[in-house]
């Protein structure tokens, strides 16, 4: 007699079952003598992880990796950063908290996915963020989303995390963006 009710409850639970949570294990690369205090780097990474939680992505405990390869490596620049990434081989996704960038144009943060790493494979699935980046937590969430989705696409939607210019109030991701983020992140071994 209670079977129909039970069935109803099970059906109501289906969407939740379909969106099983995925886990992201971030590596934070900090530099000996670098400009980023550990506490601020960790806080920015936690804020980014909290933003991505809306897609059913849970943050596993983050791993800190210390780089002590000399001051030159504290600046982001493709050739030297490739050398560093090849040497350190951090678990991905990895965030490098650099002092600044020598790349031009100079971005606050850059993401290298699979699609844009063919000429620099060592940098695949990494994010590089400079010390004076604005709203670093939101900037990191934006770049990590590029990496997890393996896409450089932006959105015009108000409030969306993937707007071209990041802003503190723009933190939402659409269902389609979350679906892509999870599917591609899992397929590329960046989510578990
Ligand atoms: Zn972007």
Q: What is the DSSP letter of 20?
A: -
> Residue ranges of the domains in the chain?
18-187
Across the range 46-57, mean pLDDT stands at: 98
Burial 11-47 (b: 16+ CB within 10 A, else e): eeeeeeeeeeebebebbbbbbeebebeeeebbebbeb
pLDDT at 81: 98
DSSP character string of 127-183: EEEETT-SSHHHHHHHHHHHHHHT------STTBTTSSS--TT--B--HHHHHHHHH
For 107-117, write each residue's pLDDT tens digit. 999 999 999 99
For 132-185, write each residue's pLDDT tens digit. 999 999 999 999 999 999 999 999 999 999 999 999 999 999 999 999 999 999
Q: How far is the CA of 105 from the centre of ligand 1 (A)?
A: 14
Q: How far is the CA of 6 from the centre of ligand 1 (A)?
A: 46
Q: How far is the CA of 110 from the centre of ligand 1 (A)?
A: 8
Q: How far is the CA of 162 from the centre of ligand 1 (A)?
A: 6
Q: How far is the CA of 166 from the centre of ligand 1 (A)?
A: 8
Q: How far is the CA of 16 from the centre of ligand 1 (A)?
A: 30
Q: Which CATH class is domain 18-187?
A: alpha beta
Q: Contact, 153 vs 163, CB < 8 A?
A: no
| pLDDT mean across residues, the chain | 93
């Amino acid at each position: 007699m209670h079977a129909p009710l039970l069935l109803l409850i099970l059906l109501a639970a289906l969407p939740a079952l379909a969106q099983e949570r995925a886990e992201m294990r971030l590596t934070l690369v900090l530099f000996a003598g670098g400009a980023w205090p550990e506490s601020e780097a960790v806080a920015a990474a936690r804020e980014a992880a909290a933003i991505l939680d809306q897609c059913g992505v849970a943050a596993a405990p983050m791993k800190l990796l210390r780089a002590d390869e000399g001051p030159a490596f504290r600046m982001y620049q493709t050739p030297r950063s490739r050398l560093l990434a090849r040497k350190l081989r951090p678990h991905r996704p990895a965030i490098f908290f650099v002092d600044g960038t020598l790349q031009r144009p100079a971005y606050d943060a850059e993401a290298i996915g699979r699609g844009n790493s063919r000429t620099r494979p060592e940098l695949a699935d990494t994010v590089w963020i400079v010390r004076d980046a604005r709203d670093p937590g939101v900037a990191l969430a934006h770049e990590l989303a590029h990496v997890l989705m393996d896409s450089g696409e932006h959105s015009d939607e108000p409030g969306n995390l993937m707007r071209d210019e990041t802003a503190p109030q723009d933190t939402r991701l659409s269902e389609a963006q979350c679906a892509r983020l999870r599917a591609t992140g899992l397929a590329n071994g960046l989510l578990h």
